[in-house]
């Protein structure tokens, strides 16, 4: 079965392509390389022994999307990762974020209307919950006003899908709300490639440990948490990638309860920033240079998933630990810096 993965050379997309190919799917990748590189294809090939079909295509160009779907009208499913994802950048360039994250989604859904099989998986985020009133966060927690244009594109994206599912009978969608994806493939053939200063904790940790950054700032040490630092649900990217395959199989076999479902994807365990640092120090054997800095605007205090729905309905749960994720991220960082 032929599956389109948009943004398939990015961090989560590339790991998902690997898991899809491991399960025997034929994968077609679209990416405009705005936040990835062609070398990722070599990494995927080294792991799976199969080089996926790749087209460099900017999904903002409607006519190109149209032409692509005309040539690939035999798709059995689409997993849509392509988006811009830097929260801070989205505050400074909101229209760029709305254009890229909303237009691309609309164009893909429009073209999918012409397919026989209309199975669609959307990358959403736990940011839709903001600071939830209750922890762990279930899928029933209310969606809170977004803190950034980026976060808003995920909320609007879910609304667009919901509205489209009401009228497009053949369309079946699952939105996956990721908590905090980290780590790399254990082979160190693929991983996260942040351009510029990393926005997320783990690449900042590994870049500091390897000497690219002088010091890690932990934003806020006076939060109402056991050690005063923020709590997040760090999920290994390989576990996350596997959830996409399970979700896709659910749609392909028609087992979905409605034509628009959504699931939290996390481990269910919250870890503080200091616990994440300790895990890194343990698996790497390196002491990290960090300091406690002021709080950063927009950070929620604590967020971790209630995973019951994903565990029971999808039949998926995480298998890898925070230590596994840190070890893989460190192996990846060392590999790319030695190249």
Consecutive H or E run containing 264: strand 260-265
Residue 13 CA to residue 81 CA, distance in Å, equals 6
* Cα–chain center distance at 147: 18
Q: Is the Cβ of residue 11 or residue 129 nearer to ligand NAD in the bound state? A: 11
CB 125 within 8 A of CB 292: no
Closest residue to ligand NAD in the complex (CB): 10
CB 273 within 8 A of CB 218: yes
Output the smallest distance, CB 30 to ligand NAD, in A.
Answer: 6
Q: Is the Cβ of residue 244 or residue 250 nearer to ligand NAD in the bound state? A: 244
Structure tokens at 83: 């988006």
Output the smallest distance, CB 65 to ligand NAD, in A.
Answer: 9
Q: Is the Cβ of residue 13 or residue 198 nearer to ligand NAD in the bound state? A: 13
Q: Is the Cβ of residue 58 or residue 292 nearer to ligand NAD in the bound state? A: 58
Q: Which of 97, 107, 150, 178 is catalytic?
A: 150
CA atoms within 13 A on the CB side of 14: 28
Distances (CA, A) of 259 to 167, 171, 174, 216, 314: 11, 7, 8, 44, 15
Output the smallest distance, CB 123 to ligand NAD, in A.
Answer: 3
Structure tokens at 166: 């009401």
Q: Is the Cβ of residue 167 or residue 261 nearer to ligand NAD in the bound state? A: 261
Q: Is the dihedral of CA 111, 149, 130, 10 positive or negative?
A: positive
Structure tokens at 165: 């599912």
Q: Is the Cβ of residue 11 or residue 25 nearer to ligand NAD in the bound state? A: 11
Output the smallest distance, CB 29 to ligand NAD, in A.
Answer: 9
Q: Is the Cβ of residue 119 or residue 125 nearer to ligand NAD in the bound state? A: 125
Give residues in contact with ligand NAD (CB under 6 A).
7, 9-13, 30-36, 58-60, 81-85, 100, 104, 123, 125, 178, 181
Q: How many of the other CB atoms lie within 10 Å of CB of 295?
A: 13
Of 225, 205, 208, the residue nearest 277 (C-alpha): 205
The DSSP code for 182 is E
Active site residue 304: no
Output the smallest distance, CB 254 to ligand NAD, in A.
Answer: 26
Output the smallest distance, CB 5 to ligand NAD, in A.
Answer: 10
Consecutive H or E run containing 328: helix 322-338
Q: Do the bridges between strand 77-80 and strand 118-125 make them parallel or antiparallel, or are there none, so unpaired?
A: parallel
The DSSP code for 53 is E
The DSSP code for 128 is G
Output the smallest distance, CB 127 to ligand NAD, in A.
Answer: 7
CB 129 within 8 A of CB 303: yes
- Which residue is listed with tokens 């298998």? 319
Catalytic residue set: 150
């Amino acid at each position: 079965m032929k599956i389109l993965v948009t943004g398939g050379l990015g961090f989560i997309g590339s790991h998902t392509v690997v898991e899809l190919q491991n399960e025997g799917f034929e994968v077609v990748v679209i990416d405009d390389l705005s936040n990835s590189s062609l070398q990722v294809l070599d990494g995927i090939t080294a792991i799976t022994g199969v080089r996926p079909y790749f087209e460099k295509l900017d999904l903002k160009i409607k006519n190109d999307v149209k032409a692509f779907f005309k040539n690939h009208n035999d798709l059995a499913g689409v997993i849509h990762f392509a988006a811009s994802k830097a929260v801070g950048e989205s505050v400074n360039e909101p229209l760029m974020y709305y254009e890229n994250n909303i237009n691309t989604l609309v164009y893909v859904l429009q073209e999918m209307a012409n397919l026989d099989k209309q199975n669609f998986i959307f990358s959403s985020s736990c940011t839709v919950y903001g600071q939830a009133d209750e922890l762990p966060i279930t899928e029933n927690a209310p969606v809170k006003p977004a803190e950034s244009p980026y976060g808003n594109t995920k909320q609007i994206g879910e609304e667009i899908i919901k509205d489209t599912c009401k009228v497009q009978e053949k369309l079946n969608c699952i939105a996956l709300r990721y908590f905090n994806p980290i780590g790399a493939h254990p082979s160190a053939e693929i991983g996260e490639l942040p351009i510029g200063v990393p926005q997320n904790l783990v690449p900042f940790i590994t870049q500091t440990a390897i000497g690219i950054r002088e010091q890690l700032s932990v934003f806020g040490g006076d939060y109402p948490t056991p050690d005063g630092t923020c709590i997040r649900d760090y999920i290994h990217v390989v576990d996350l990638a596997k959830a996409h395959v399970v979700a896709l199989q659910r749609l392909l076999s028609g087992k979905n309860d409605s034509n628009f479902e959504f699931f939290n994807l996390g481990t269910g365990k919250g870890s503080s920033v200091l616990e994440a640092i300790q895990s890194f120090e343990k698996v790497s054997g390196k002491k990290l240079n960090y300091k406690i800095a002021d709080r950063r605007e927009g950070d929620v205090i604590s967020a971790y998933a209630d995973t019951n729905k994903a565990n029971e309905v999808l039949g998926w749960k995480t298998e890898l630990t925070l230590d596994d994720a840190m070890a893989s991220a460190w192996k990846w960082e060392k590999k790319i810096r030695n190249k």
